[in-house]
Amino acid sequence: MGYLLAAAINVVLLWLLLVEPGWRRLGFLTDDVTVVLGWVTVSLLAGVAVNLALVGYDPPWARRAGDALTAAVAAVALARIWVVFPFDLGTWSGWETALRVALGLACVGTAIGALANLAEAFRVRSAP
């Protein structure tokens, strides 16, 4: 049930981002979002695919491998967002720096999570 819920949440996020209301309705996003939209979409689609795959087959190594895959794609998406920075925060003093730091930390943490999950997948898979 949890895998289906996670997949459904990613589908809803895709719908909200791409269809209705769409990213253009969010006033703090600039047109530069189009530069990162592909990676964000791939990240959400990877989450859908992995969670649907795990509905029928979820040994620990597969779950960890799926988590590694989705985290790796998310780390790339976060890195692109950090580089492009498609946000217009207006006159909010200090928010740009705070958001850049948060994105950087999220990117590093997600990349570490991807590596840790990959290592755990290999460890669990090769365990007797």
Residues in the chain: 128
Determine the residue type at 102: A
6-10, 17-21, 48-52, 59-63: segment of lowest average pLDDT: 17-21
Q: State the number of CA atoms in the 13 A half-sphere of 37 facing the CB.
A: 16
- End-to-end CA distance of the chain, in Å? 29
Q: Which two tokens stand for residue 66?
A: 């799926």
Q: What average pLDDT does this structure show over 20-41?
A: 92
Domain range for residue 28? 2-126
Query: What per-residue confidence (pLDDT) applies to 91?
Result: 76
The number of domains in the chain is 1
Residues in a beta bridge with 29: 87
Tens-digit pLDDT profile for residues 34-62: 999 999 999 999 999 999 999 988 999 99
Q: How far apart are CA 61 and CA 46, in angstroms?
A: 17
Identify the H or E element spanning 77. Answer: helix 60-84
Query: What per-residue confidence (pLDDT) applies to 46?
Result: 98
Is residue 89's pLDDT more than 90?
no
